[in-house]
């Protein structure tokens, strides 16, 4: 087993993303590795790995998830994982009682849960393989970019701000009004002035602007009169593109937290506030 780990340790680092949340004595480490498969009778000889002539060596990337419980002895330690965002269970190959190998390409969430006595839990994010390729550029150019701030001036941490800015028509009046709506939408998630949700599994509630941020957004934006039909159509296109940017952003992050929704709404607002600025 130690030989296997040594072989795996002869590697370059591959990209890994870890998003741990943990407390108490349970500790989880993630070590990115490359490994070589297809080896027959491998042996180490100094700096060389000797293999049979029948071997068909190929490289692969992976990660080792190492679990340690410190001084505390738990009766049960469970390790499981799922791929984001499909939530398909990801296969973990048990190397030994403390180490697990992840070979499936993608972004995964690995949870380690220890109990008896008490409980402890650590969750880490593991990425195996190359980063997701960015979305290809849209085939049609966006509606004319308003003058003023360039793309580098637009906050784009969620990959939404730039889409909101570049697809906005040259209509600072409406842009300012819509910006306020997005800022107010964000504040509902912190109870300002009341609590609203993004979506609910109660279908009737999900359509109620008194409860739902998205229903409230739709209503408030519809209340703003738009008399220039061409600009109205452009704003309609804008909403579609921004909605698509929200979906892509959630997929890239795995999912949004409430905090993410707050920040993303404000990113749209900040981008709109720059429309028409010299």
Partner 1 sequence: MSEVRELPTYKLGYAIEQENRPALMAGGMEPRELLARAARGLADVPKFNVDTHPFTLFDPLDQEQQGACQGHALALIFAICYWLCTGQVLHFSRAAAYYLSQRRDGIRGDNGSTLSGGQWVATVHGLCLEEHWPYPDRYDPTEPRGIQYPFKLVSAQPTDDPGLVREALDMGLMVQDGIGWNGSVSRTLVTNYVGGGGGHSTVLWTKKGPNYRRLNSWGMWDGDGCNENTPEALDQQVRWRGNTHVIYAPEQMIYPAPLPV
Q: How far, in Å, CA of 92 to CA of 241, rounded?
A: 38
Site for partner 1 in 42-71 (CB under 8 A): none
- The window from 90-98, 140-148, 191-199, 230-238 that contacts partner 1 (CB under 8 A) reads 191-199
Q: Which is nearer to partner 1, 3 or 258 (CB)?
A: 258
- The window from 94-102, 126-134, 135-143, 189-197 that contacts partner 1 (CB under 8 A) reads 189-197
Torsion 27-33-39-43 (CA) sign: negative
Q: Which is nearer to partner 1, 37 or 210 (CB)?
A: 210
Nearest to 171 by CA among 246, 215, 233, 264: 233
- The window from 50-58, 135-143, 144-152, 206-214 that contacts partner 1 (CB under 8 A) reads 206-214
Among 1, 45, 87, 222, binds partner 1 (CB under 8 A): 87
Does residue 149 belong to the site contacting partner 1 (CB under 8 A)? no
Does residue 85 belong to the site contacting partner 1 (CB under 8 A)? yes
- The window from 34-42, 111-119, 219-227, 233-241 that contacts partner 1 (CB under 8 A) reads 111-119
Does residue 74 belong to the site contacting partner 1 (CB under 8 A)? no
Q: How far, in Å, CA of 87 to CA of 258, rounded?
A: 20
Among 205, 219, 231, 239, binds partner 1 (CB under 8 A): 205
Q: Which is nearer to partner 1, 24 or 51 (CB)?
A: 24
Does residue 119 belong to the site contacting partner 1 (CB under 8 A)? yes
Nearest to 35 by CA among 65, 55, 59, 16: 59
Q: What angle do CA 173, 175, 179 make, to 5 degrees?
A: 120
Does residue 179 belong to the site contacting partner 1 (CB under 8 A)? no
CA 199 → CA 206, 218, 241, 255, distances in Å?
6, 13, 20, 14
Q: How far, in Å, CA of 135 to CA of 146, rounded?
A: 23
Distance of CA 20 to the CA centre of its chain: 14
Does residue 125 belong to the site contacting partner 1 (CB under 8 A)? no
CA 158 → CA 5, 51, 123, 155, 268, distances in Å?
38, 48, 23, 8, 10
Give residues in contact with partner 1 (CB under 8 A).
21, 23, 82, 84-85, 87, 109, 111, 115, 117-119, 121, 123, 187, 189-202, 205, 210-211, 213-214, 246-247, 250-251, 254-259, 261-263
């Amino acid at each position: 087993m130690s030989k296997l780990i040594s072989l795996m340790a002869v590697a370059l680092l591959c990209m890994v993303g870890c998003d741990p949340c943990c407390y108490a004595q349970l500790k989880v480490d993630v070590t990115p590795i490359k490994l070589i498969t297809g080896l027959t009778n491998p042996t180490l000889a100094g700096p060389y790995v000797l293999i049979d002539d029948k071997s068909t060596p190929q490289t692969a990337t992976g990660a080792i998830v190492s679990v340690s419980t410190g001084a505390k002895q738990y009766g049960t330690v469970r390790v499981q994982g799922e791929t984001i965002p499909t939530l398909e269970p990801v296969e973990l190959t048990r190397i030994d009682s403390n180490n697990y190998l992840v070979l499936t390409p993608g972004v995964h969430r690995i949870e380690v849960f220890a109990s008896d006595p008490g409980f402890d839990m650590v969750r880490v994010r593991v990425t195996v393989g190359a980063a997701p390729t960015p979305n290809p550029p849209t085939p049609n150019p966006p509606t004319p970019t308003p003058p003023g701030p360039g793309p580098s001036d637009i906050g784009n941490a969620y990959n939404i701000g730039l889409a909101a800015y570049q697809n906005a028509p040259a209509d600072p009046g409406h842009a300012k009004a819509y910006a306020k709506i997005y800022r107010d939408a964000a504040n509902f998630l912190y109870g300002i002035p009341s609590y609203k949700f993004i979506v609910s599994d109660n279908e009737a509630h999900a359509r109620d602007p008194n409860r739902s941020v998205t229903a409230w957004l739709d209503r408030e934006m519809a209340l703003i009169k738009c008399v220039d039909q061409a600009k109205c159509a452009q704003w309609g296109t804008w909403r579609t593109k921004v909605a698509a940017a929200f979906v892509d952003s959630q997929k890239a992050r795995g999912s949004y937290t409430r905090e993410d929704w707050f920040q993303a709404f404000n990113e749209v607002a900040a981008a709109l506030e720059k429309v028409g600025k010299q």
